[in-house]
Amino acid sequence: MMLAQLVLPLLLTGAAGGGNEIVLILDNSCSMGMESRDDQGRRYPPNDPERAAVLGTLIVEGLARGSADRMGVLAFGDSERDPPRPAQDADAIRALPYSQGTFYKRPLEEAGNRLRSSTLPHRLFLFFTDGAPQDLRDPSEGPRALGVSEGADFETLVIGLFGSEEIRQTGEQFLRPLVRNPQDLVFVQKPREVIDAFTRGYARVLGSRPETGSLSPGESKTFAVGKYVVEVLVATASASPGPAYTAKLEGPQGNAPAQASGDNGCPPGIRYGGAPKLCQPPHRHYQVFRAPNSPDQPSRWTLSLPKGSGDIDYGLILRYDLEASLAVPATARVGEPVRLDARLLFRGKTFDDESFFQADGFAAVATVEGQEVPLRHEGGGRFVADWTPSQLSQDGAPTPVQVTFRNAWMEQRARRTVQVEGFLDFALAPNPASIDLGHWRGERGETRRCVTVDLSRSTNADRVPITCTAQGTITEGVLSCGPVAGSEADLGNGRKGQPLEYEVCFVAEGCCGQMAPEGLGVRFSATHPHYAASAVTVPAVVKVDETGFLRCWWPWLAFAAGMLGFGWIVAGFVRPHDFDPAASVYVAGSEMGLKRASALTLRETPGGTRGFYRNARMCLNAGGDFVRSPRAAVLVLEAGPGGSTRFVTAAGLERKVQRTGKWEPVPAEELAIGYTPNTVYRVGSLYLKWS
């Protein structure tokens, strides 16, 4: 089944773009189906006792049948001089006799001639073999016979069916030169792997990416088909020799008829003495489907296997009505950027479906000079990339450029060639030839001065990529150089060239010291090493005076002063003390009058609440009036921390001793602890009591 799956994608591409020319070389040497011996008499079992190569060829033929594809099969002759044996239909393929040797040259020459002379737009070379050639001595003879080395425009896929690692190593050196890309050489060791190898290998070549799997009796597989798919191809084959089976493929229009079916047995009456069981049943059977699908809407398809059959392998191919397109100039020069312009075409028009580009792992890449270059979507379905050739086209042959659009189901490719010629004449003429960035004083923050250098007087600076690098060492500054946006040269036809203006800037750090660095400059040079001798250094001069302590630090000094001032102001309101809210005073002209006097809360007296850097105070003059100014008072009581008080002015203050009833002066040392509640005090003719 593997074989069929590889071939399916092949045919898909052909149907979309006018058909494929498929030339398949089928190794029919005796070692494929019969036991063989080497010169030392060692025995080797047959490499393909189940005729898997024949099965794969029949699947390819079945898929191509009735389509725009043209397929031809070539088998080895009985000697290196004999022409290859052709086969065009299923019966002829089954009837191909086993050859007495493995003769590559004549079949390769015939395959190359058919492919090069074909007028179909897509061409594919397929080769199934199990051994090294007997008629080639040097691995380079194979590609010369096929014409691969002549740059022929056809795809290649080679499948090696080797029964042992030793035989594989011998054959690989002759097979690898026959493929254009390393991934086009596929090795299988088990007959059941053939369909998977065919599907995956040919799908890659033909523009599709297949899904492979297996079904057991009574199982089914339903798969979603998105928009833009015009054909659904399915190849099935029995997993092992056994009876015939009938798979069913059902789509939006109902059951799809099988396009071809059969087995890989020999024609009636054929028998090989060296392998008496080779042509005897049971055989491996196959069945292929090729059904149209509407590309305008999604659909669902189901592949099912009725009960009673054996396991089958399947390969599913979705053929998109999409085709890759690539536009490149016919010639280019080493070191000069080349614009690669690629797109997908749907029904001949540029395909632009953003949802398609964002789904199923879609990617677009270009492959050139052995490197992959990602393509960027510029809108409108255009995918572009810039490639700068690094070497001349080898041996005079144009350099191939390939773009690949791929997602989970598709892999569309387009290939063009570019003749890469020698290097451009290149000379740099910067203007100005020296740079004066100026003289200034440093500031608290970084300061910047820039000068623009013009390269428009240079030779081919508009076409050769250029780098600009700063030179010199600066401890407190940075010299930089970069292209000016929008200064790209106009190369005509909407193409943009290289920037022709570069901005050279010097940035001095904030609070820098004195700077007048020597040896500064910017170096303009092409990115390609070939132009190394054309590099030009433009000297640069700059002088920056020291910022100075005050210029650098004055904001911080001002901030510190501001914070101190703010703290002083806040402290002026917060630090002073207030009287206890409940503290009050009685004032009278006699001791008896205190009993009739009304209490006055200390906070209600003039100055009785704290002020800016002033504690609350009570000021009493000689006439018994409360005043605000302490200078006019004979008694001044001031609030202290925690509700305490102290006498600030209290000349002649006396207190009455309750035990004796006598008056005594208040000691000076006790004035600092304020009044004693409910004690009678006297100052002059005034009597007071605090509570």
pLDDT score recorded for residue 82: 93
Q: Which helix (H) or strand (E) holds 618?
A: strand 617-620
**Distant-in-sequence, close-in-space partners of 427: CB < 8 Å, separation ≥ 6:** 458, 459, 460, 534
Average the pLDDT over each of 170-174, 562-566, 646-650 and give the range with the smallest value: 170-174
CA separation for the pair 690, 289 (Å, rounded): 117
The DSSP line for 644-664 is -EEEEEETT-EEEETTTTEEE
DSSP letter string, 26-61: E--BHHHHS-EE-TT--EE--S-TT-HHHHHHHHHH
Q: Are strands 122-129 and 155-161 parallel, antiparallel or unpaired?
A: parallel
What are the distances in angstroms from CA 373 to CA 100, 388, 403, 427?
A: 48, 11, 9, 29
Rounded distance, CA 197 to CA 179, Å?
A: 15
CA proximity to 7, closest of 68, 79, 51, 71: 71
Helix (H, G, I), strand (E, B), or coil: what is residue 177? helix
Length of the chain: 691
Amino acid at position 288, single letter = V
Rounded to two decimals, the pTM is 0.63
Q: What are phi and psi of 160, to 5 degrees?
A: -100, 125
Mean pLDDT of all residues in 321-331 = 91
For all residues of the chain together, what is the average pLDDT? 88
CB neighbours of residue 320 within 10 Å: 27
Per residue in 495-521, pLDDT (tens digit) is 788 999 999 999 999 988 899 999 999
Residue 657 has pLDDT above 50, yes or no: yes
pLDDT of residue 10: 40
Q: Which of 185-189, 509-513, 613-617 has the lowest mean pLDDT?
A: 185-189
Q: What helix, strand, coil percent values describe the chain, rounded to 5?
A: 20, 40, 40
- On the 0-12 / 13-18 / 19+ scale of CB atoms within 10 A, 677 is exposed
Structure-token pair, residue 248: 């069913």
The strand pairing partners of 635, in sequence order, are 620, 650
Domains and CATH numbers, the chain: 2-320 (3.40.50.410), 322-421 (2.60.40.1930), 436-549 (2.60.40), 584-690 (2.60.200)
Q: Which residues contact 325 (CB under 8 A, 6 or more apart)?
A: 342, 343, 344, 345, 414
* Per-residue H/E/C for 496-529: EEEECEEEEEEEECCCCCCECCCCCEEEEEECCH
The whole-number pLDDT of residue 149 equals 62
pLDDT band at 637 (very low <50, low <70, confident <90, very high): very high
- Residue 127 has which token pair? 């080769």
Greater pLDDT, 499 or 271: 499
Look at 196-200, 368-372, 549-553 and tell me which has the smallest mean pLDDT.
Answer: 196-200
How many angstroms separate the CA atoms of 214 and 219, rounded? Answer: 9
Q: Could you give the dihedral angle defined by the CA atoms of residues 37, 43, 46 and 47, in that order, rounded to the nearest 10 degrees?
A: -90
Q: Average pLDDT for residues 32-60, to the nearest whole number? A: 81
